[in-house]
C-alpha cells in the first residue's frame, strides 16, 4: 500500500465521501453508511466513522455505533465492518486499533465487531487481539444470507426458483394480486402489517415513527422503498427494502397472516426482484436465513428461511460477530452469568433493544 494510513474521524450526520467509498468497495453495506447512522440515531445510537486515509483517499474504515444502556453502560458495535479496499495487514490493524481507541475514549465497556464476508483476516486479528465469538447480547446482523445475482435475464431468474415458488408467483398473478410501490403515506399500513408479523413470530417491532424517520432519511436518495401486495384494493403483505451500492436488501417483511392461499408474499418478492434488476442493481439480498444443518433457531425463522430459499440464489456466510469486554471483572460475570441474567425480563428487554436492526 502506498503511503501510511492516517486517521480521519467523523461524527457528521451526513458523510458523502465515506458513503461513496462504501458504495464502490466490495463488502460495503448500508449498515456502515452515514445514512444508517442517522436512522439509528432515533433509537439512541451515536455514529462515529473511523476512516483510514492514504494519499488523500479513503482506503478502509468502520462506522462504530455507540449507545449507553442501563445496567450495562456504554456499548458499541461495528455491523458488517470494517470495510477495506484491499487485503493489507497494516491497513487492517490500523483500523482495528483506532476502533478500539475510539471505544475506550467513549467509555465503551462492551464492543462487538462483525466483519463482512471475505474479511477473514479481520477475524484472525480480532482473535489475536482478545476478542471472542459473540454470545447472547449482540447479534447485529444475520451471519448467513441469500444473494440473488440480478445479472441474469428475468427468464433465468424465474427458472432458478424452486418449482413451488415459481408456481405460487404465477398463481398470485392469476388470482388478481397486484404489487405497487408505496409512498410515505403507506408507512402506517406497513407498520400495522409488521406488528401483526411480530406478534405471530415473537420479535419486537419499533414504533411507526422509526420507519417514518428511516424513509425521510433514505428515500429521497432512492435508498429505501416500501412495496405493498394488495388484493381487491386491500393490503395483504408489504416489504421494506434498502438499496445501497450494487445491493438491494430485503430489510423487513410484513404479512397479515391471512389469505395465505393468494400467495401474495411470493409475488411481492418477485416484483421487488424485477424492480431491483430493472433499476440496475447487481444483487438482491434476502437478508437472513437459517443454514440447512442448523439445529437451533426459532421454528418460524426456519420456516421463513425455507420461503426465501425458494427464490434461488447463493448462500453467503459472514464470519459472525466477535466481542470484547475490557473490564476483567465484568467480563467474567458476563461469561458466567450471561445466560441467566439475559433470560430475565430486564435482560430480554435489553437484548431486544440492542438487536433491533
pLDDT tens string 142-170 = 788 999 999 999 999 999 999 999 999 99
By three-state DSSP, how is residue 153 classified?
Answer: coil
What local confidence, expressed as pLDDT, does residue 202 receive? 86
Query: What is the Cα–Cα distance from 274 to 262, expressed in whole angstroms?
Result: 20
Report helix, strand and coil shares of the chain as percent, to nearest 5. 40, 25, 30
* Ranges of H-type helices in 280-342: 299-309, 328-342
| In contact, 224 and 35? CB cutoff 8 Å | no
Q: Which contiguous run of DSSP H or E holds residue 315? A: strand 314-317
What local confidence, expressed as pLDDT, does residue 139 receive? 54
Domains and CATH numbers, the chain: 6-141+321-355 (3.40.630.30), 144-316 (3.40.630.30)
What local confidence, expressed as pLDDT, does residue 1 receive? 45
What cell was used for 262?
A: 393468494
What local confidence, expressed as pLDDT, does residue 174 receive? 98
What local confidence, expressed as pLDDT, does residue 296 receive? 47
Which among 285, 306, 291 has a CA at the least distance from the CA of 148?
285
What local confidence, expressed as pLDDT, does residue 73 receive? 77
What local confidence, expressed as pLDDT, does residue 134 receive? 82
β-bridge partners, 106: none
Instruction: Give pLDDT tens digits along the chain (357 positions).
Output: 457 899 999 999 999 999 999 999 999 999 999 999 999 999 999 999 999 999 999 999 999 999 987 766 789 999 999 999 999 999 999 999 999 999 999 999 889 999 998 888 999 999 999 999 886 555 556 788 999 999 999 999 999 999 999 999 999 999 999 999 999 899 999 999 999 999 998 888 999 999 999 999 999 999 999 999 999 999 999 999 999 999 999 999 999 999 999 999 999 999 999 999 999 999 999 988 876 555 444 545 567 788 999 999 999 988 888 999 887 767 677 666 666 666 666 566 656 665 555
What cell was used for 308?
A: 426465501
Sequence-ordered strand ranges (E) for 55-206? 57-69, 73-79, 83-84, 108-114, 132-133, 144-149, 178-181
Query: What is the Cα–Cα distance from 115 to 80, expressed in whole angstroms?
Result: 5
What local confidence, expressed as pLDDT, does residue 214 receive? 97
What local confidence, expressed as pLDDT, does residue 312 receive? 93
Amino acid at each position: 500500500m502506498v503511503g501510511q494510513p492516517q486517521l480521519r474521524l467523523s461524527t457528521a450526520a451526513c458523510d458523502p465521501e465515506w458513503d461513496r467509498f462504501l458504495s464502490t468497495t466490495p463488502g460495503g453495506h448500508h449498515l456502515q453508511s452515514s445514512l444508517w447512522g442517522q436512522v439509528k440515531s432515533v433509537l439512541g445510537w451515536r455514529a462515529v466513522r473511523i476512516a483510514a486515509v492514504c494519499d488523500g483517499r479513503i482506503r478502509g474504515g468502520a462506522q462504530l455505533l455507540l449507545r449507553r444502556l442501563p445496567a450495562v453502560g456504554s456499548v458499541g458495535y461495528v455491523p458488517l465492518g470494517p470495510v477495506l479496499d484491499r487485503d493489507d495487514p497494516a491497513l487492517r490493524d490500523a483500523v482495528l486499533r483506532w476502533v478500539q481507541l475510539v471505544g475506550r475514549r467513549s467509555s465503551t465497556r462492551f464492543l462487538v465487531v462483525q466483519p463482512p464476508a471475505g474479511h477473514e483476516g479481520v477475524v484472525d486479528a480480532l482473535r489475536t487481539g482478545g476478542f471472542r465469538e459473540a454470545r447472547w447480547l449482540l447479534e447485529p446482523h444475520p451471519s448467513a444470507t441469500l444473494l440473488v445475482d440480478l445479472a441474469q435475464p428475468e427468464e433465468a431468474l424465474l427458472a432458478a426458483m424452486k418449482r413451488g415458488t415459481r408456481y405460487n408467483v404465477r398463481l398470485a398473478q392469476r388470482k388478481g394480486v397486484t404489487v405497487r410501490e408505496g409512498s410515505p403515506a403507506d408507512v402506517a399500513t406497513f407498520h400495522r402489517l409488521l406488528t401483526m408479523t411480530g406478534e405471530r413470530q415473537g420479535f419486537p417491532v419499533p414504533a411507526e415513527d422509526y420507519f417514518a424517520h428511516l424513509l425521510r432519511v433514505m428515500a429521497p436518495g432512492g435508498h429505501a422503498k416500501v412495496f405493498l401486495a394488495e388484493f381487491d384494493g386491500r393490503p395483504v403483505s408489504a416489504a421494506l427494502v434498502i438499496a445501497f451500492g450494487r445491493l438491494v436488501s430485503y430489510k423487513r417483511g410484513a404479512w397479515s397472516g391471512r389469505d395465505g392461499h393468494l400467495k401474495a408474499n411470493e409475488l411481492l418478492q418477485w416484483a421487488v426482484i424485477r424492480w431491483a434488476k430493472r433499476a440496475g442493481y447487481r444483487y438482491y439480498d434476502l437478508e437472513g436465513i437459517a443454514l440447512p444443518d442448523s439445529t437451533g433457531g426459532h421454528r418460524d425463522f426456519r420456516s421463513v428461511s425455507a420461503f426465501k430459499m425458494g427464490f434461488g440464489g447463493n448462500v453467503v456466510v459472514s464470519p459472525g460477530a466477535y466481542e470484547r469486554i475490557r473490564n476483567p471483572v465484568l467480563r467474567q460475570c458476563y461469561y458466567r452469568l450471561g445466560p441467566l441474567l439475559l433470560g430475565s425480563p430486564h435482560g430480554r428487554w435489553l437484548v431486544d433493544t440492542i438487536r433491533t436492526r
